[in-house]
Amino acid sequence: LLRGAGLKLRSLAMDLRPPELERGSLVDALASLCSNARRGEPIGLSVGPDLPGIAPEAALHAYRVAQEGISNAAKHAPGHRIELRLERAMEGGRAWLLLEVRDRGAPEGGQGGPSAAAADPSLSSGTGLSIMRERAALAGGRLEFERRPDGASLRLRVPGLAPGKEGT
């Protein structure tokens, strides 16, 4: 019983600060997430060329939103291509970290279409978007979600540049 409780506690602690972020950068952690999230179905990752250092808190929020966004896309749009984009965005004279998770229509010959969770909302807890919005607010940013005929898009903007890097 104690061993099981210890393992559960360790698992919870690892969830607070993902080991992928401890070992490397946000880009490395997202690359790992993309390669491990869906067996046999690659997730594309695009990183902007002028991405400066990212503050640890912003990196954690961006990683968790990416994790939940991928999970939601896989659950609600099975067979769709999932793509992540991470870049610097300028808005109001200020540099922001922009993370976008998109699911697009099924690949050529693929079996796209709504999942059981999308067709029947009672099969989903419905807390994913709320949790992601809370994360965005905690980080001083915002989360936008848009459904389109060919899929959906989730955009997180957070003030995430490391100290001394803002505006460059």
Q: What percent of the chain has pLDDT over 90?
A: 26
**Of 67-81, 100-114, 131-145, which one has max mean pLDDT?**
131-145
Q: How confident is the model at residue 133 (pLDDT cuts 50, 70, 90)?
A: very high
Give the pLDDT confidence of 90-103 residue by residue, as tens digits.
888 888 899 999 98
* Beta carbons within 10 angstroms of residue 98's beta carbon: 21
Q: What percent of the chain has pLDDT over 70?
A: 74
Q: Where are the alpha helices (DSSP H) in the chain?
A: 2-16, 19-23, 26-37, 56-76, 116-119, 128-138
The DSSP letter of residue 145 is: E
The separation between the first and the last C-alpha atoms of the chain, rounded to the nearest angstrom, is 53
pLDDT(150) > 90: no
Q: Which pTM was predicted?
A: 0.75
pLDDT(154) > 90: yes
What pLDDT does residue 33 have?
87
Cα separation, 42 vs 127, whole angstroms: 26
Strand partners of residue 154: 101, 145
